[in-house]
Amino acid sequence: MKKGRAALSLFFLSCAAALLIGGCNNPKFIKKAEFHGTHLIVLTFAGPVDPEWGENSASFSVNEKPDPDILLEVRGVTLSPDRTRLTIELADPINQDQPHQVVARDILSQGKDLGTQSVTVARPYLGYLFSIFLGALLIQNFVFSKYLGLCVFFGTSQKKTTAVGMGITFTFVIVFASLMSWFFYQFILKPYRLDYLQIIVFIGLVSLTVQAVDTILRKINPALFKAFGVYLVLVIANCIVIAVPLILADNEYGVFESLMLALGAGLGFLLALFLMSSVRERLDLADVPVSYRGLPIAFIVAGLFALSFMGFSGMSIF
Amino acid sequence: MDPLVIKLALGGLALLAAIGLFFGIGLALAAHKFAVEVNPKVEAVKEVLAGAQ
């Protein structure tokens, strides 16, 4: 009982401390800033602002966050009737991949000068991560729209069980290998200016991951190891597993972006293998012309899949 | 040649060698720790059998 009371009072004390610390923060007058369409940035204020300040486009400057000295041209500013929402129209389309900085000079609200405030506008981060994931999984599926990893794709898509096993191993390996490559690229290769060696290092890291998985799986789960058989080693020869680290390095992705791309690529490969193996199991029973039996018809089926996956192309989410 | 380029190349060599050594030792330790006991008779039988493949 006594212990419970002590814990309770400690809890209230920490709550009060958190409130005090929170209250010390300078309240932001600009509550929200977001992109609207291709040319607009919408700011939401905590209170009404004066029209003579808000409708003057000289009060605002907009720039992309990495280049603060290149100001974007503001075409016009409009204030909503309740004077709390303000729309900035830019002359050129906004590159939404970059966070933008909006500086509002000497904000006037009901005659009071609230000083200069700046705000960063960026796309919602979780949505951005999800769009990377879905992009790698469907829209730019590595097998069906980039034609990578075809050797393993055709080699292991004859039976559903091996296809799924291969897909899961592959996802496993690609996530580990990409995260490791990301770490090595960001913290070792780039600081020492050795990024020209990235291909060699990435190949080494991929084979290292595969070898480690091989060694550990052999001991821990011999049944699964037997089921994977030769495919585990085949992952080394897959082009997707080396393409993903190169894409990460090229785009300067962060750790979560890398994770999402690797996961999307791995699951996309799993999806492609599963679809293909389902069709090929049926094809064995179908009456295929002799000269098309086996690999040729498989290539035709893959082409049809690629055609249907083209339906996703050009889609953008968020 | 520019000494900076030579320095970069040598640095790359040293770093790659270090990484290789580090992971090589790591893999060797892992292989040692996760070693699977193989029946020596299997090897002996395989040795005796004729096998081109």
Average pLDDT, chain A: 85
- For residues A75 and A133, state if they share a domain: no
Assess if residue A12 is contained within a domain. no
Query: Are residues A271 and A200 located together in one domain of the fold?
Result: yes
Q: Tell me the mean pLDDT in the region B19-23.
A: 92
Pick from A199, A206, A219, A221 the residue to mutate for testing the B interface (most B CBs within 10 Å): A219
Quick check: A210 and A173 in contact, CB under 8 A?
A: yes
ipTM exceeds 0.90? no
A192 contacts chain B (CB < 8 A): yes
User: Which is nearest to A153 in space by CA: A167, A139, A141?
Assistant: A167
**A208 in contact with B at a CB cutoff of 8 Å?**
yes
State whether A216 and B12 contact (CB < 8 Å).
Answer: no
Assigned token pair, A124: 């919602």
* One domain, residues A31 and A172: no
| Chain B, nearest residue to A200 by Cα | B16
* Among candidate residues A107, A123, A139, the one where a domain is terminated: A123
Contact A274, A163 (CB under 8 A): yes
Asked if the structure places residue A260 within a domain, the reply is yes
Domain final residue pick, A123, A139, A159:
A123
Mutation to test the B interface, candidates A200, A213, A215, most B Cβ within 10 Å = A215
Q: Is residue A15 domain-resident?
A: no
Looking at residue A26, what DSSP letter applies? P
Cβ distance A258 to A139 under 8 Å? no
A140 and A258 together in one domain: yes
**CA of A221 to nearest chain B CA: how many angstroms apart?**
11
C-alpha of A203 from chain center: 23
User: Is B20 an interface residue toward A (CB < 8 Å)?
Assistant: yes
Domain membership flag for residue A8: no
| Number of domains observed in the structure of chain A | 2
Both tokens assigned to A5: 């009371």
Closest CA to B31 of A172, A216, A173: A216
Structural domain containing residue A73: 23-123
Residue A289 lies in a domain: yes
Residue A9 lies in a domain: no
**What's the rounded Cα separation, in Å, for the pair A258 and A179?**
7
Helix (H, G, I), strand (E, B) or coil at A106: coil
CATH at residue A64: 2.60.40.1220
Residue A18 forms part of a structural domain: no
| A11 found inside a domain | no
Residue B30 to residue A200, Cβ atoms within 8 A: no
Listed as ranges, residues in chain A with pLDDT below 70 are: 1-4, 7-27, 316-318
pLDDT digits (tens, 9 = 90+) for A205-254: 999 999 888 888 888 888 878 877 777 888 887 889 999 999 999 888 88
Whether residues B27 and A208 touch (CB distance < 8 A) is answered with yes
Last residue of a domain, one of A69, A104, A123: A123
Q: What is the predicted pLDDT for the residue at A229? A: 73
The stretches of B2-52 forming alpha helices (DSSP H) are 3-33, 40-48
Q: Is A180 on the interface with B (CB under 8 A)?
A: no
Q: Specify the pTM.
A: 0.71
**Tokens read off for B29:** 């330790």
